[in-house]
Amino acid sequence: MSGFLTVLVIVLIFVVIFQIAKASEYVSILKGEKKAREQSNRINGFLMIAFLVLGLLGAYYCNEVLKDKLDTVSASVQGEGIDNLIWVTLGITGFVCVVTQILLFWFAFKFQEKEGRSAFYFPHNNKLEVIWTVIPAIALTILVAFGLKHWFTITADAPKEAMVVEVTGKQFNWLVRYPGKDAQLGSKKFKYISDVENNPVGQDWADDYNKDDFMASEIHLVVNKPVKFIIGSRDVIHDVGLPQFRMKMDAVPGIPTTLWITPKYTTAEKKQMTGNPDYTYELSCDQMCGAGHFSMRAVIVVETQKEFDEWAAKQKSQYELAHTSATPAAAPATADSTANKAVAMAK
């Protein structure tokens, strides 16, 4: 019933709008086309000014209401530079946007049609075209140059002391692998992937480096210690999104990508800073990857080195999980041995 009423209200609104338009058309016929057009232009001119003022006030109000809900402090050292670049970009583009919108709406009001005024056509001016082409090109080139600087920093070789975390996207969850005590990830091959045999990323068990690698359901990082992410995908293109750290990187099948960051605050410190006891860092998929895209989320825990070591010591290696029994199974009894046992028992 409520659905029917909603449709009925929508239909009535369209009918009212249609009738108002028809009435306006009849009035313009009675007044004369020119006079009706001039009156319509005056109304539209004042509406332009009203929309300009209300729009600017609305933008300011939304900023005041929502600014405290934004996580404006980067959780990584590298993210600080990216934040600064974002603020500079926002300042430049925001200034240009406000100025051009004010001019657009003001010109629509000031130069509306009036008696005795004719339009002035200004088809070509080399000087103006050079100005509005060269200045934006220079500004954008500078912004792109700074952006590339940050990009080359986070995708360059990580410091030697950096820990390594491998993140593999899969419809629809993340597979996280850590190297063991040898600090080396073992090799893997796509043909070895098997969820049934507890080998979700295709580790090559002939490689000794794989013997102590372990998988985790969440990502643990050490505060103030660089971490290198080795990123890949098992099926389609995903995207590793680290919003609190201001980072993202595509996860592409068959083409490993990397980035590195240095976390600045532990999860506990971030909870105190935000006043939110439920605050968590997260890894999200920033690339539409199918029907279950919304569920591709992993929790990131940033902690001290001691806490990380205690957590890592509790993890079982994937090799151990894939080979549930290290003790060889007893050999099956043969027919001869069974007969010998029967004779011995008879004696």
The 10s digit of each residue's pLDDT in 245-283 is 999 999 999 999 999 999 999 999 999 988 889 999 999
Read off the pLDDT band of 185 (50, 70, 90). very high
The 10s digit of each residue's pLDDT in 33-55 is 667 677 777 888 888 889 899 98
Q: Is the pLDDT of residue 335 over 80?
A: no
Q: Is the pLDDT of residue 149 over 70?
A: yes
CA distances from 2 to 5, 7, 10, 11, 14 (A): 5, 9, 12, 14, 19
Say if residues 76 and 247 touch (Cβ distance below 8 Å): yes
231: in domain: yes
Least trusted range by pLDDT, from 2-6, 223-227, 278-282, 292-296: 2-6
Predicted pLDDT at 332: 47
Q: Is the pLDDT of residue 89 over 90?
A: yes
CA distances from 271 to 53, 75, 258, 280, 302 (A): 39, 12, 28, 8, 11
Say if residues 112 and 37 touch (Cβ distance below 8 Å): no
Can you tell me which residue has the tokens 């993202």?
248
Q: How far apart are CA 294 and CA 286, in angstroms?
A: 10
Indicate the Cα dihedral angle 203, 208, 210, 212, nearest 10°.
160
The 10s digit of each residue's pLDDT in 293-321 is 999 999 999 999 999 999 999 999 999 99
Instruction: Look up the CATH number of the domain holding residue 212.
Output: 2.60.40.420
Average pLDDT, the chain: 86
142: in domain: no
Read off the pLDDT band of 345 (50, 70, 90). very low
- One DSSP character per residue, 263-306 reads B-S-HHHHHHHHT-TT--EEEEE-S--STTGGG-EEEEEEE-HH
Predicted pLDDT at 346: 44
Q: How many domains does the chain have?
A: 1
108: in domain: no
Q: Is the pLDDT of residue 237 over 90?
A: yes
Read off the pLDDT band of 121 (50, 70, 90). confident
Predicted pLDDT at 31: 58
**Between residues 237 and 332, the one the model is more confident about:** 237
Say if residues 181 and 213 touch (Cβ distance below 8 Å): no
SS3 232: strand
* Average pLDDT of span 73-92: 92
189: in domain: yes
Token pair for 258: 């990397």
128: in domain: no
Cβ–Cβ contacts within 10 Å for residue 209, how many?
16
Cβ-Cβ contacts under 8 Å for 118 (sequence gap 6 or more): none
Least trusted range by pLDDT, from 37-41, 149-153, 195-199, 216-220: 37-41
254: in domain: yes
Say if residues 230 and 205 touch (Cβ distance below 8 Å): no
Q: Is the pLDDT of residue 178 over 60?
A: yes
Q: Give me the domain span that covers residue 197.
A: 163-322
Predicted pLDDT at 29: 62
Range of 7-21, 68-82, 220-234, 272-286 with top mean pLDDT:
220-234
* Average pLDDT of span 113-131: 81
Predicted pLDDT at 115: 75
Predicted pLDDT at 27: 63
306: in domain: yes
Strand residue runs (E) in the chain: 163-170, 173-178, 214-216, 219-222, 227-233, 238-242, 247-251, 257-261, 281-285, 297-303
What share of the chain in percent tops pLDDT 90? 59
71: in domain: no
